[in-house]
A = this chain, B = another copy of it.
Amino acid sequence: MPTSTTKRDDILDSALTLFAERGFDATTIPMIATDAKVGAGTIYRYFANKEVLVNTLFQHYVTLFKEALEKDYPEGAGIREQFHHLFQGMIRFTNEHDHALYFIKTHTSAYFLDAESREQFGHLLMIFEDFFEVGKQHGHIRPLPSKALIAIIFGGFLQLYQLIRVGELEASAELLAGVEESCWDAVRHHS
């Protein structure tokens, strides 16, 4: 009945939650093992060591997120609709993978990320960077460095979602629409 790779997935799921909640260094292998209901040694059957585990997890979700953003991207549409697509992508991804985006953000500049992880993350940023660059050329987006715009959107969105996760805010459609509008106003060029 259980899927074949259940164990490996259980480990990844538990690791994601714990890394997001406590951070990499404060999460011990026994904690992950207990949460995943596997023996501690089992983790090492699937991942050579703790760093490989965290990098695997990081790359997995970064890739998934990138694909979610790229899927059905409205190439020919107006910039507002494209922004909506990206923002909805963030929301949908966060809803589907509870702790993933928060985990990504809080571990983005961690000392233990390997070259591959950093590169994958670079690819992810590129989506936003391209969007902003084109938007600036057309005069639709504020003339600020794309990196800065990304930071504002990303930083704001994730800080917000942390509140939702913690339960201090509820993710109503209304709130999310309002936040999207707020973020859009943060980056769009006001004439």
Q: Is A157 an interface residue (CB 8 A)?
A: yes
Q: Is A127 an interface residue (CB 8 A)?
A: no
Inter-chain contact A157/B155, CB cutoff 8 Å: yes
Inter-chain contact B169/A160, CB cutoff 8 Å: no
Chain A interface size, under 10 / 10 to 19 / 20 to 34 / 35 or more: 35 or more
Q: Is A72 an interface residue (CB 8 A)?
A: no
Inter-chain contact B175/A148, CB cutoff 8 Å: yes
Collect the chain B residues with CB atoms within 8 Å of residue A160's CB: 148, 151-152, 155
Q: Is A145 an interface residue (CB 8 A)?
A: yes
Q: Which of A120-170 contact B (CB under 8 A)?
A: 142-145, 147-149, 151-160, 162-163, 166, 168-169
CA distance A110 to B26 in the complex (A): 10
Collect the chain B residues with CB atoms within 8 Å of residue A158's CB: 155
Q: Which residues of A contact B (CB under 8 A)?
A: 22-26, 106, 109-111, 142-145, 147-149, 151-160, 162-163, 166, 168-169, 175, 178-179, 181-183, 185-188, 190
